[in-house]
Amino acid sequence: MYLKINPDSPQTNKIKKTVTAIKNGAVIAYPTDTVYGLGCDIFNKQAVNKIYNIKKRDKKKPLSILCADFKQASQYVIIPDYAFKLMKKILPGPYTFILKARNNMPKNILAKNKTVGIRIPDNQFCLQITKQLGSPIITTSLNISGEQNIKNLQELSKEIRNKIDLMLDAGYLPDKPSTIIDLSQDEIEIIRKGQGDLNFIDLKQPT
């Protein structure tokens, strides 16, 4: 299925169609506030495996999750006070924060140290579908691992298109991904500089 959407003011019927598709095990291609992503229900192992296969990604490498808000995120990851204060300054926004996962997180998407990346993007479509779904979705860039990000769904190869159940087209997007910040250890660590300002971060040891 292919749907044109407005990411800033998404149509209610298209949000409902997307949520229903995810509940039924669909893998979706969707816009975020950074690049196009691949997503599915984090608890659907078959759909998660399909994403790994589409991306040709090593299954030992973790995936990130996309949440509607801090309340939803805190059900799945442990957010220390210092991390919450930092995250609250700039979310929703183009950042991925690595945090310790709670016991209810599916083990097949976690890093070896039981951490996971979380996103709360500045994109109403993303926030609405996760809110209505009632749980996070997988978020990973729509590309073959190691290759360029997709700016426009028209760039997708036929091979990838045929493996995606629902494509949500918001036109051209930047090809610069999110900034990744690790808050799971005793020191704040910038893993990847992508979109978003970093001047708000004090890289000293958290207290």
pLDDT tens profile 139-197? 999 999 988 888 899 989 898 999 999 999 999 998 899 999 999 988 899 999 999 98
Q: Which helix (H) or strand (E) holds 192?
A: strand 189-192
Distance from C-alpha of 25 to C-alpha of 76, rounded to nearest angstrom: 20
Enumerate the β-bridge partners of residue 138.
65
pLDDT of residue 31: 96
Kindly state the DSSP code that residue 84 receives in the 8-state scheme: H
CA dist., res. 114 & res. 172, Å (int): 35
**How confident is the model over 89-135, as pLDDT tens digits?**
999 999 999 999 999 999 999 999 999 999 999 999 999 999 999 99
Query: Where does the pLDDT of residue 206 fall: very low under 50, low under 70, confident under 90, or very high at 90 and above?
Result: low
For 146, other C-beta atoms within 10 Å of its C-beta total 8
pLDDT, residue 187, reads 85
Domains and CATH numbers, the chain: 2-192 (3.90.870.10)
